[in-house]
Amino acid sequence: MVTAGDFRNGLTFDMDGNVMQVVEFQHVKPGKGAAFVRTKIKNVITGSVIERTFSPTDKFENAYIERKEMEYLYNDGELYYFMDTETYEQTPLEAAKLDDNFRFVKENMTCKILSYKGNVFSVEPPTFVELEVTDTEPGFKGDTATGTTKPATLETGATVKVPLFIEIGDVLKIDTRTGEYIERA
């Protein structure tokens, strides 16, 4: 059990059958009246964020989220298949459980599968990936304006903004959290 007075950023708990994660919290002790805890909490299943206040004595069950490393194998339309690298057991997931940043994942990459009580609700790709550029406009000599970018299509089909000197065949390091180009690999 965890009380609202013990809230910290990142803590997960079960509230009304939903798994919530503390995004922000503030203990408030007004001059008059009882103390309370003002929070921003996120439903980890749906992704919605709400603001709510609690009494410091409110109690909740801890929610333990299992993070398991699995290798992405392939997809056959609607289902994406992941393999447990220890047991070689394959798990199919629907496209709805994959975040937008999954577009940077190619076959045989290791991802973290997040589940609560055996129900998978999200897939975390690696933070940084190295992908090859398959299509981009050629850069023009003398076009050296600072910060100028052009779109480039990567081997997974994702498109990112890159500097003008990037060419087809270059391998780029991409931050999957922001979808931004970091550097050439």
Over residues 75-81, the mean pLDDT reads 88
Split into its structural domains, the chain has a count of 3
Count of CA atoms in the C-beta half-sphere (13 A) of 34: 8
Q: String of b and e for 20-55 (b: at least 16 CB within 10 Å)?
A: bbbeebeeeeeeeeeebbebebbebeeeeeeeeebe
* Residues 36 and 77 placed together within one structural domain of the fold: no
Share of the chain above pLDDT 90, in %: 27
The CATH number given to whatever domain includes residue 164 is 2.40.50.140
Do 78 and 91 share a domain, yes or no?
yes
Question: Residue 154: pLDDT above 60?
Answer: yes
pLDDT band at 52 (very low <50, low <70, confident <90, very high): very high
Handedness of CA 171, 175, 181, 185 (dihedral sign): negative
Residue 134 and residue 105 in one domain? no
- Amino acid in position 42: K
| 142 pLDDT above the threshold of 80 | no
Look at residues 47, 62, 77 and tell me which one is the last residue of a structural domain.
62
Q: What is the mean pLDDT of the chain?
A: 87
172 in the same domain as 158: yes
pLDDT at 166 over 60: yes
Residue type, 40: K
pLDDT of 145: 60
Are residues 87 and 50 located together in one domain of the fold?
Answer: no
**C-alpha dist (Å) from residue 80 to 53, 94, 157:** 39, 6, 16
Domain containing residue 107: 66-124
Q: Which pTM does this prediction carry?
A: 0.71
Query: Is residue 83 very low, low, confident or very high in pLDDT (cuts 50, 70, 90)?
Result: very high
Of 62, 87, 113, the position where a domain reaches its end is 62
Instruction: Tell me: do 72 and 45 sit in the same domain.
Output: no
Cβ count near 4 (within 10 Å): 21
Do 58 and 70 belong together in one domain? Answer: no
3-12, 32-41, 59-68, 141-150: the lowest-pLDDT one: 141-150
CATH code of the domain containing 33:
2.30.30.30
Distance CA 91, CA 104 (A): 20
Residue 96 pLDDT level (bands cut at 50, 70, 90): confident
In whole angstroms, give the CA distance from residue 64 to residue 62: 6
Predicted pLDDT at 17: 83
- Measured CA to CA, the distance from residue 129 to residue 168 in angstroms comes to 17
Annotate 133-160 with three-state secondary structure. Answer: EEEECCCCCCCCCCCCEEEEEECCCCEE
Same domain, residue pair 55 and 71:
no
